[in-house]
């Protein structure tokens, strides 16, 4: 947007909501672009904005990804860098009168940092900053069953849905999973045992840097070739409709 267009937007919209997409620049296996998470977050943010008369501020492309630095191409911010970018962006928006900010985060590594930055910047600027949880929507037993956390079938499906021209499936022809977990947590992965939520957290806590347990960079046991674009579309539409509903509801509620 040009400055006058932005000014006109602010004059015509009583409840402006800014949407900040967050993702990462990190290795995504042999076949997905380094920017996968940021491209996916931006695509979601843009579609939510389009449907709700909101606007997108992509403040940065990298996120917090030290665990992927064993592979070339990963760019990681320090936690304080990422937090400062979020805080400065929220406070700048507040300066211009935009005090409702939605963070759309597509990279798990950002979660705690972004949540803290959201809280601190909201307090500093008198804004309301929402970052809907991305894990609340997933079934932990399902997580343990598939272990399809990164660059596997589900993320490949999403990438092919959103930016197929950047995906190089030739690079995973005849793919064999390379991930292996330490024996001490392997038994915890039984998806049918009770307390899957707690066990999923233990399994996550015992995984080190990506290159230490998967030479392909694909984090899990699914085959990227099994990516189902229609499945991805269904999940995408579901998350999109939730966020659209959230923003529409939010626009009817005045600032505290």
Binding residues (CB under 5 A) for Zn ion: these are: 36-37
Phi, psi of 206 (to 5 degrees): -100, 10
Question: For residue 60, which of 25, 90, 8 has the smallest C-alpha distance?
Answer: 25
How far is the C-alpha of 85 from the C-alpha of 232, rounded, in Å?
30
Question: Cβ-closest residue to Zn ion?
Answer: 37
Which CB, 92 or 235, lies closer to Zn ion?
235
Closest CB 55 distance from Zn ion, rounded Å: 25
CA atoms within 13 A on the CB side of 239: 22
- 55-56 vs 128-130, strand pairing mode: unpaired
Which CB, 68 or 100, lies closer to Zn ion?
68
How far is the C-alpha of 52 from the C-alpha of 192, rounded, in Å?
41
Closest CB 36 distance from Zn ion, rounded Å: 5
Which CB, 36 or 214, lies closer to Zn ion?
36
Torsion from C-alpha of 91, 97, 102, 105, nearest 10 degrees: -40
Collapsed DSSP state (helix, strand, coil) of residue 118:
helix
Which CB, 98 or 147, lies closer to Zn ion?
147
Which CB, 41 or 203, lies closer to Zn ion?
41
Which CB, 37 or 87, lies closer to Zn ion?
37
How far is the C-alpha of 215 from the C-alpha of 179, rounded, in Å?
7
Closest CB 21 distance from Zn ion, rounded Å: 13
Closest CB 28 distance from Zn ion, rounded Å: 6
Collapsed DSSP state (helix, strand, coil) of residue 180:
coil
Closest CB 51 distance from Zn ion, rounded Å: 24
Closest CB 155 distance from Zn ion, rounded Å: 5
Phi, psi of 69 (to 5 degrees): -70, -15
Computed on alpha carbons and rounded to an integer, the radius of gyration of the chain in Å comes to: 19
């Amino acid at each position: 947007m040009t400055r006058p267009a932005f000014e006109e937007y602010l004059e015509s919209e009583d409840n402006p909501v800014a949407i900040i997409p967050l993702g990462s620049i990190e290795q995504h296996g042999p076949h997905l672009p380094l920017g996968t998470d940021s491209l996916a977050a931006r695509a979601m943010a843009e579609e939510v904005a389009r449907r709700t008369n909101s606007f997108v501020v992509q403040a940065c492309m990298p996120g917090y990804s030290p665990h992927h630095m064993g592979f070339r191409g990963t760019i990681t911010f320090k936690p304080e860098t990422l937090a400062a970018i979020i805080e400065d962006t929220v406070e700048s928006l507040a300066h211009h009168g935009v005090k409702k900010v939605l963070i759309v985060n597509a990279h798990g590594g950002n979660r705690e940092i972004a949540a803290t930055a959201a809280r601190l910047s909201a307090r500093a600027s008198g804004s309301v900053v929402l970052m809907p949880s991305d894990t609340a929507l997933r079934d932990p037993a399902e997580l343990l069953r598939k272990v399809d956390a990164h660059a596997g079938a589900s993320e490949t499906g999403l990438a092919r849905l959103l930016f197929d021209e950047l995906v190089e499936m030739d690079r995973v022809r005849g793919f064999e999973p390379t991930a292996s977990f330490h024996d001490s947590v392997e038994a915890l992965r039984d998806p049918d045992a009770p307390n899957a939520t707690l066990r999923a957290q233990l399994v996550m806590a015992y995984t080190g840097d990506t290159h230490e347990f998967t030479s392909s960079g694909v984090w899990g046991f699914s085959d990227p070739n099994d990516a189902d674009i229609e499945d991805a579309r269904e999940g995408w539409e579901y998350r999109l409709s939730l966020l659209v509903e959230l923003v529409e509801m939010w626009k009817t509620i005045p600032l505290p």
